[in-house]
């Protein structure tokens, strides 16, 4: 089964409605903007941890913010976790993906010196 098919016909109809409305709204946007454009046609069983790691790295190279990438990865991982629970995958390929250190915001060091 393709990721997009699973996300739209099973996760979106069975899992998403169980979440708070504000969470649903945010997840729909992340799914539409960050996940489906890349993962839609990938077969679930063909997604490896390396594929997810490369996708995360590419998001950073494209200039996406740390929190945006983290949120996108978090939703991807959640959808893939559901695929594991429903028997489409044996393990979640998003687990164990590494992220670069989050950079300190300007002024954060100055605040700690006081």
pLDDT value of residue 106: 63
DSSP annotation of 2: B
Helix axes 66-85, 49-61, angle to 10 degrees: 160
CB 6 within 8 A of CB 47: no
State the pTM of this model: 0.88
Through-space distance between the first and last CA atoms of the chain, rounded to whole angstroms? 56
For residue range 11-45, what is the model confidence (pLDDT) as tens digits? 999 999 999 999 999 999 999 999 999 999 999 99
């Amino acid at each position: 089964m393709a990721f997009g098919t699973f996300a739209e016909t099973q996760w979106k109809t069975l899992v998403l409605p169980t979440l708070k409305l504000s969470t649903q709204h945010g997840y729909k946007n992340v799914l539409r903007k960050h996940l489906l454009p890349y993962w839609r046609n990938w077969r679930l069983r063909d997604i490896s941890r390396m594929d997810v790691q490369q996708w995360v790295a590419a998001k950073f190279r494209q200039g996406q913010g740390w929190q945006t990438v983290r949120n996108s990865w978090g939703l991807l991982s959640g959808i893939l976790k559901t695929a594991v629970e429903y028997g489409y995958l044996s393990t979640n390929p998003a687990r164990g993906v590494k992220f670069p250190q989050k950079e300190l915001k300007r002024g954060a060091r100055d605040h700690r010196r006081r």
